[in-house]
Structure 1
């Protein structure tokens, strides 16, 4: 089972790292997933990720407060809007666009109802 957790952790970490350089790939959700998977498969890797100066703060914010930064919320919302517009421009079927829009609205509702981290309110 440890191998599965480590594999999931590494895949999520790679996707999160891709999100740093690719504008349409989200970073924070994949880092949170990676930290969770590493917590099951390798406490050392989990500790490294949570203590990382760049990637650790959003993970700690989620774990401690179930909070997301305003920047993360905006970036996710923009990515969803760009994806939907891209689907329209690609002339995807109306059914696919409607399913996509409903899912994106649900995700946006979830994101924007999460608090912002207390440290960013200071």
Structure 2
């Protein structure tokens, strides 16, 4: 079960790199958690991954999402949804769902610490 959830979560995280409504970081973090319960090989692979490794180790060790990652996530989400929201003829309730989703994800991201606590 953990392995299946981890693979699904990682798939959604990878899709989130390209789709603005799917947040990459929370899905990759969830997949790392699931892999830590099911497959040490996949968990180590994620920890050593060029793109995702630092995100996971920052989160696992300190519960941190670095400022640079927050800025990239914020800019990419806002840039990718701004044009369709302004210029595409979607129903207002769909636009509201998109706005609420983006604001919720950004609130989560920006509520996390940006650097490890100094002891």
Superposition TM-score tier, normalisation by shorter sequence: 0.7 to 0.9
What is the root-mean-square deviation in Å for CA atoms of aligned residues? 2.5
Relative contact order: is structure 1 or structure 2 higher (C-alpha 8 Å, sep ≥ 6)?
A: 2
Q: Sort the Cα spacing of 1:71 and 1:89 in 2 relative to 1 into closer, same or farther, 3 A.
A: same
- Structure 2 unpaired stretches of 5+: none
Q: Is the 8 A contact 1:50 1:57 kept in 2?
A: yes
Which stretch shifts more, 62-71 or 8-17? 8-17
Residue 106 of structure 2 corresponds to 108
Quickly say closer, same or farther: Cα 1:86–1:49, change in 2 above 3 A: same
| TM-score, scaled to structure 2 | 0.73
TM-score (norm 1): 0.72
- The 1:116–1:89 alpha-carbon spacing in structure 2 relative to 1, beyond 3 Å, is same
Please, which runs of 5 or more residues in structure 1 have no aligned partner?
none
Are 2:49 and 1:52 aligned? Answer: yes
Structure 2 Cα separation of the partners of residues 87 and 37 of structure 1: 35
